[in-house]
Structure 1
Amino acid sequence: MSTLRVTAERLTILEHPNADALELAQVGLYRAVVAKGAFRTGEFAVYIPEQAVLPDPLIAELGLTGRLAGGAANRVRAVRLRGELSQGLVCRPAALDGTDLAAASAADEDFAERLGITKWVPPVPVSMSGDVTAAPDLLPWTDIENLKRFPGIFAPGDLVTVTEKLHGTACCLTYYAGTGEVHVTSKGLGAQRLALTEAAGNLYWRAVRGYGLPELAAELAGKLGAARLGIYGEVYGGGVQDLGYGVDARRELPGYAAFDVCADIGGRLRWIDPADLPVGELPLVPRLFHGPFDLDRVLELAQGRETVTGRGTHIREGVVVRTADDTYSPVLGGRALAKVVGDAYLTRKGGTEYE
Structure 2
Amino acid sequence: MSTLQVTAERLVVVPHPNADRLELAQVGLYRAVVAKGQFATGDHAVYIPEQSVLPEELIAELGLTGKLAGSLRNRVKAVRLRGEVSQGIVCTPTALGGVDLAGAAVAGTDFAESLGIVKWVPPVPVSMSGQVESAPDLLRWVDVENIKRFPDIFTAGEPVVATEKIHGTACLLTHVRAGDRILVSSKGVGGRSLSLSLTEADGNLYWRAVRAHGLDEAARKLAAALDADRIGLFGEVYGAGVQDLHYGASAAHDSSLGFGLFDIAVDAGAAPVRWLGHHEISALLDDLGLALPRVPVLYEGGYDAELLLELAEGAETVSGAGTNIREGLVVRPATERPSPILGGRAIGKIVSAAYLLRDGGTEYE
TM-score, normalised by the number of residues in structure 1: 0.99
Q: Which region of structure 1 is more displaced relative to structure 2, 247-256 or 166-175?
A: 247-256
Kept in 1: contact 2:22–2:35 (CA 8 A):
yes
2:306 and 2:162 map into 1 onto residues whose CA distance is 13
- 1:291-306 equivalent positions in 2, closer than 5 A: 291-306=301-316
Give 2:218's match in structure 1, choosing from 216, 235, 259: 216
Query: Could you tell me which amino acid in structure 1 is paired with residue 203 of structure 2?
Result: G
* Same amino acid, percent of matched pairs: 63
Matches within 5 A, 1:94-113: 94-113=94-113
1:269 partnered with 2:278? no
Kept in 2, the 8 Å contact 1:9–1:45? The answer is yes
Describe the SS at the equivalent of 2:233.
strand
Q: How does 1:136-175 map to 2 (within 5 A)?
A: 136-175=136-175
SS in 2 for 1:231: strand
Cα RMSD after superposing both structures: 0.9
1:327 to 333, 337, 340: 337
Deviation at 1:30, TM superposition (A): 0.0
Q: Tell me whether 134-143 or 203-212 shows the greater mean CA deviation.
A: 134-143
Q: Secondary structure at the match of 1:277?
A: helix
Contact 2:275–2:336 at 8 Å: present in 1 too? Answer: yes
With over 3 angstroms needed to count, the CA separation of the structure-2 counterparts of 1:276 and 1:10, relative to structure 1, is farther
- Residue 256 of structure 1 corresponds to which residue in structure 2? 259
Residue of structure 2 equivalent to 1:337? 347
For 2:148 and 2:136, locate their aligned partners in 1 and report how far apart those are by CA, in whole Å: 33
2:361 counterpart letter in structure 1: G
In 2, Cα distance between equivalents of 1:214 and 1:139: 14
Q: Is the 8 A contact 2:174 2:230 kept in 1?
A: yes
Alpha-carbon distance between aligned partners in 2 of 1:266 and 1:251, rounded to the nearest angstrom? 38
How far, CA to CA, are the matches of 2:161 and 2:228 in structure 1?
24
The structural deviation recorded for 1:293 is: 0.9
Following TM superposition, where does structure 1 have runs of at least 4 consecutive aligned residues deviating by more than 2 angstroms?
250-253, 273-279
Which residue identity is paired with 1:277? L
Do the aligned residues in 2 keep the contact of 1:275 with 1:284 (CA within 8 Å)?
no
Question: Take 1:46 and 1:29, find their aligned partners in 2: how far apart are those partners?
Answer: 15
Count of paired positions: 355
Distance in 1 separating the partners of 2:162 and 2:226: 25
Q: Which residue of 2 aligns with 1:50?
A: 50
User: Matched residues in 2 for 1:26 and 1:120: separation?
Assistant: 23
**1:214 offset after TM fit, Å?**
0.5
8 Å CA contact 1:167–1:241 kept in 2: the answer is yes
Cα deviation, residue 252, structure 1: 4.2
**Distance in 2 of aligned mates of 1:261 and 1:324:** 14
Shift of 1:251: 3.6
Q: How does 1:8-157 map to 2 (within 5 A)?
A: 8-157=8-157
TM-score normalised to the size of structure 2?
Answer: 0.96
What is the deviation of 1:208?
A: 0.5
Q: Which residue of 2 aligns with 1:318?
A: 328
Name stretches of at least 5 consecutive residues in structure 2 with no aligned partner: none
Aligned with 1:8: secondary structure? strand
8 Å contact from structure 1 (residues 258, 285) kept in 2: yes
**For 1:50-90, what per-residue CA distance to the aligned partner results, in whole angstroms no more than 9, with x for missing partners?**
00000000000000000000000000000000000000000
Gaps of 5+ in 1: none
